[in-house]
Amino acid sequence: MIFYGKQDVNETDIRAVEEVLRSDFLTQGPAIERFERCVADYCGAKYAVAVTNATSALHIACLAAGLGKGDVLWTSPITFVASANCARYCGADVDFVDIDDKTYNMSVTALEEKLRQAEAAGRLPKVVVPVHLAGQSCDMKRIHELATAYGFMVLEDASHAVGAEYLGGKVGSCAFSDMAVFSFHPVKIITTGEGGMVLTNSKELYEKLTLYRSHGITRDPAFMTQESDGPWYYQQINLGFNFRMTDIQAALGCSQMQRLDEFVARRRYLAARYDKLLERLPLVTPHVMSDSVPSWHIYIVRVDFSRVKRTKQEIFEKMRERGVTLNLHYIPVHTQPYYEQLGHRSEECPEAMKYYEEAMTLPLYYDLTDEEQNMIVDKLREVL
């Protein structure tokens, strides 16, 4: 069975983890800072905070942004639910900005129009979360300009986009945002098993993020309300969480980072090869903006159902019968029962609904061979 994605862990990765297992620190040790510095330096950001997963990264980023009851966060409907749920964890409301019909990222045109309406209604967002679907950056320069004009903070959900480039820089540099979040789940481009990270260029946000990651506790006298009682002393400054990554995970992450460019290069090769192999099939292949170089976490196609007489369910089932597991990224978040109970309706985002009817994700991962890719396309041709 060929699955849509999987990790690649080699002997060097295993030795890096084994070294930590034989060391004095399994958690809260030096491997965490090494991993954070490695990712921050690669992306060109000043600070990085490693956490348990990208969901907790989004959560503490929203808290650091001051998001709370009475505030509203806007994000894309075509994303994993965590991009919206992070606002709800903070007691804030959520609204959705429809997608661009070519890139499937947040539509800047829709965002600008929604901002004009929100300003007139006195209900502007405090935080906007653009999602870099499939590893292609949103139009961050324009989003940054709108953030300056309307006064909201920008939190990039770059869970798919480690290794991606935009306007000549690395995604994660926070050149056009306040913070950016990566995911290191096993199906992502690099993995720590589970894990996530927040990057920022703001010292103030960094300090808040580190507090929220670890119970709101500090041992730094500079942040205490009174003089320290001694070397054992700590203070809880705010209500934080236990979102700490282990040194075991961080060691794997550091090792994987050494192969990040290799991973991304292979994914780009396979994506370009899919573009060519799928040319004559009744599918729409991904559109790439001229200022973006995606890292290709996933490869999404849209089916032209005017030329295909099977349903989407039939396509998924027939491909599975032939040994290939497809996937779908994503079911529009605003149609989930939880968000419907909050008053959201499918017609809010018509482009997202059209996308959902037609989209499917083909297998793409580092060690997918050319022969396996040929087989996937051959089976898809049979089914369509």
- The pLDDT of residue 210 is 97
Average of per-residue pLDDT across 180-199: 98
Find out whether 196 and 182 touch, Cβ atoms under 8 Å.
yes
- The pLDDT of residue 219 is 93
- The pLDDT of residue 290 is 96
The answer on 278 and 240 residing in a single domain is no
Average of per-residue pLDDT across 128-143: 98
Question: What CA–CA distance (Å, rounded) separates 329 from 206?
Answer: 31
Q: Could you give the number of structural domains in the chain? A: 2
Residue 247 in domain: yes
Other Cβ atoms less than 10 A from the Cβ of 62: the count is 27
Element (H, E) at 302: strand 299-303
Average of per-residue pLDDT across 333-354: 98
Confidence of residue 354 (pLDDT cuts 50, 70, 90): very high
Q: Of 29, 64, 26, 30, which Cα lies nearest the Cα of 199?
A: 64
- The pLDDT of residue 380 is 98
Reduced to 3 states (helix: H, G, I; strand: E, B; else coil), residue 75 is strand
Residue 4 in domain: no
- Of 234, 257, 280, at which residue does a domain stop? 257
Average of per-residue pLDDT across 225-250: 96
Question: What CA–CA distance (Å, rounded) separates 191 from 175?
Answer: 24
CATH number, domain at 332?
3.90.1150.10
- The pLDDT of residue 174 is 98
The answer on 284 and 171 residing in a single domain is no
CATH number, domain at 77?
3.40.640.10
Other Cβ atoms less than 10 A from the Cβ of 141: the count is 14
- Of 197, 227, 257, at which residue does a domain stop? 257
Mean per-residue pLDDT over the chain, rounded:
97
Could you tell me which residues are beta bridge partners of residue 93?
72
**Which tokens belong to 202?**
């703001």
Find out whether 59 and 86 touch, Cβ atoms under 8 Å.
yes
Residue 267 in domain: yes
Phi, psi of 336 (to 5 degrees): -70, 145
The answer on 267 and 252 residing in a single domain is no
Find out whether 200 and 206 touch, Cβ atoms under 8 Å.
yes
Question: What CA–CA distance (Å, rounded) separates 40 from 241?
Answer: 23
Residue 5 in domain: no
Q: Pairing mode, if any, of strands 165-166 and 47-51? A: unpaired
**Lookup result for tokens 């004559």:** 280
236: exposed, middle or buried (Cβ count in 10 Å: 0-12, 13-18, 19+): exposed
The answer on 197 and 282 residing in a single domain is no
The answer on 179 and 267 residing in a single domain is no
The answer on 233 and 266 residing in a single domain is no
- The pLDDT of residue 43 is 98
How is 149-214 classified by DSSP, letter by letter?
A: HHT-EEEEE-TT-TT-EETTEETTS-TTSSEEEEE--TTSSS--SS-EEEEES-HHHHHHHHHHHB
Phi, psi of 309 (to 5 degrees): -95, 5
Find out whether 96 and 114 touch, Cβ atoms under 8 Å.
no
Confidence of residue 155 (pLDDT cuts 50, 70, 90): very high
Q: Which residues of 66-94 are buried (b: 16+ CB within 10 A; e: fewer)?
A: ebeeebbbbbbbbbbebbbbbbbbbebbb
The answer on 195 and 130 residing in a single domain is yes
Q: Angle at the Cα of 212 (from 18 to 149), degrees rounded to 5?
A: 120
Could you tell me which residues are beta bridge partners of residue 200?
47, 179
- The pLDDT of residue 338 is 98
Domain that holds residue 28: 11-257
Instruction: Give 201's contacts (C-beta < 8 A, 6+ positions apart).
Output: 45, 46, 47, 174
The answer on 251 and 271 residing in a single domain is no
- The pLDDT of residue 153 is 98
Query: How many Å from the N-terminal Cα to the C-terminal Cα in the chain?
Result: 19
Residue 3 in domain: no
**CA atoms within 13 Å, Cβ hemisphere of 295:** 28
| CA dihedral sign, ordered 373, 374, 376, 377 | positive
What is the per-residue pLDDT across 38-85, written as a single tens digit (0 to 9) for each? 999 999 999 999 999 999 999 999 999 999 999 999 999 999 999 999
Reduced to 3 states (helix: H, G, I; strand: E, B; else coil), residue 299 is strand
The answer on 85 and 173 residing in a single domain is yes
The answer on 161 and 31 residing in a single domain is yes
The answer on 161 and 21 residing in a single domain is yes
The answer on 121 and 206 residing in a single domain is yes
Residue 356 in domain: yes
Decide: pTM greater than 0.95: yes
Residue 378 in domain: yes
Find out whether 271 and 295 touch, Cβ atoms under 8 Å.
no
- The pLDDT of residue 158 is 98
- Of 232, 257, 282, at which residue does a domain stop? 257
Residue 1 in domain: no
What is the per-residue pLDDT across 284-318, written as a single tens digit (0 to 9) for each? 999 999 999 999 999 999 999 999 999 999 999 99
